[in-house]
Amino acid sequence: MDKGNYSFSTCWNIKRHTNGRDMLEEIKELGFRFVELNYNVTDSLLETIEPMIEAGEIGVSSVHNVFPFIADKDYDTDSVMLGFDDLEKRKRSVELLVRSMEYADRYGAKAVVVHPGEVPFPSNIDAELKQLYREEGKDSDAYRKLWAEMLERREQLSPIYAKRIEESLYQACDQAARRGWNIAVGIETRSRCYQMPSLEEAVSICGNLQGAGVHLWYDIGHATMMERMGLHDNAAQLERALPYIYGVHIHETIELSDHWCPYVHSKDAQDFDRFLKAIEKAEVKVYELKAACQPNEIHASHQIITDKLAALASGGRTSA
């Protein structure tokens, strides 16, 4: 079944392949004509991917910073990145983002997805909170106490890191504009409570950088997870965020486990409906699913989503 303008992230099958062509052929078999090349795509994989792009066998909707893959933990997907205290590290982060934008331009992609940064903590407080959430519940005294400690530090320091992230994003987009690249930068809602941006932070950053090419990349599964943990409220904040959305990562979170097929794995016919407006609004719509998702489940999930969006467009109901 042809998936039209929807795109599909290579995170689904990258661990199964050492050959880039084989990886993309498997995605094409699902009916996708566009892919998002994720941050684990290596130079080696690109050797067989680039001829496919050049021949028009596959389109690239987006690439995920840092792209291609570099083996440096300072600049991986869970780092302070564009908000580093160290000026040289921050400068390097900007250079890496510009490098990702260069690849996006070369491949005819519309956007680069960016994990812009975080409020650093001495330990992984997010993992501790998730363990408490699962074992004792969100309303337990232990969870509430640790959450309050996390939130106090996050709220105290996030304005500092948000300002640095803004400056770094502006620098990268300015360099891209000087080179004539028309590439959107999408700052992604994240999956750990100390990571940035929250929805409120994203709205603020995008608002301050209006015209620079910086937008919100609304990761639906992550937004659901952070809502459940207590970081933000999608019902109250998504409406404000909608005008800034450029791209979406489509996946569902079950409890605190993400990257599942919407509707299919949760068996909930309605909860995901609240995100349909974001999918409809997005210029780039990317499924970001885990390897456990099977082709029949991917097809079924996509059918439900497109049927519901068609019903919305015609003013009908969105029930499955």
Residue 315's pLDDT is 80
Contacts of 154 (CB under 8 A, 6+ apart): 119, 193, 194
Distance CA 90, CA 73 (A): 14
Residue 317's pLDDT is 61
Sign of the CA dihedral 184, 189, 192, 196? positive
User: Do residues 263 and 301 make contact, with C-beta atoms less than 8 angstroms apart?
Assistant: yes
Instruction: Give domain limits for the chain.
Output: 7-313
User: Among 73, 150, 88, 146, which Cα is nearest to 119's?
Assistant: 150
CA 51 from centroid of its chain's CA atoms? 26
Q: Are strands 257-260 and 252-254 parallel, antiparallel or unpaired?
A: antiparallel
Across the strands, what pairs with 248? 218, 285
- What pLDDT, in 10s, does the model give residues 263-294? 999 999 999 999 999 999 999 999 999 999 99
Distance CA 107, CA 84 (A): 29
Instruction: State whether residue 298 is helix, strand or coil.
Output: helix
Across the strands, what pairs with 60? 35
Token pair, residue 175, equals: 């360099």
Q: pLDDT in tens for each of the 320 residues of the chain?
A: 899 999 999 999 999 999 999 999 999 999 999 999 999 999 999 999 999 999 999 999 999 999 999 999 999 999 999 999 999 999 999 999 999 999 999 999 999 999 999 999 999 999 999 999 999 999 999 999 999 999 999 999 999 999 999 999 999 999 999 999 999 999 999 999 999 999 999 999 999 999 999 999 999 999 999 999 999 999 899 999 999 999 999 999 999 999 999 999 999 999 999 999 999 999 999 999 999 999 999 999 999 999 999 999 988 665 55
Class of domain 7-313: alpha beta
Residue 316's pLDDT is 64
Token pair, residue 197, equals: 């941006």
Is the pTM above the cut of 0.85? Answer: yes
Half-sphere exposure of 235 (CA within 13 A, CB side): 4
Token pair, residue 48, equals: 């067989």
User: Among 27, 32, 31, which Cα is nearest to 45's?
Assistant: 27
CA 181 from centroid of its chain's CA atoms? 21
Residue 4's pLDDT is 97
Distance CA 125, CA 109 (A): 36
Q: Count the helix, strand and coil residues of the chain and give each as a percent rounded to the nearest 5.
A: 50, 15, 35
Distance CA 230, CA 143 (A): 11
Instruction: State whether residue 101 is helix, strand or coil.
Output: helix
- What pLDDT, in 10s, does the model give residues 59-105? 999 999 999 999 999 999 999 999 999 999 999 999 999 999 999 99
Token pair, residue 277, equals: 């407006």
Please state, in angstroms and as integers, the Cα–Cα distance from residue 205 to each residue in 22, 129, 219, 313, following that order. Answer: 39, 27, 17, 31
User: Do residues 62 and 110 make contact, with C-beta atoms less than 8 angstroms apart?
Assistant: yes
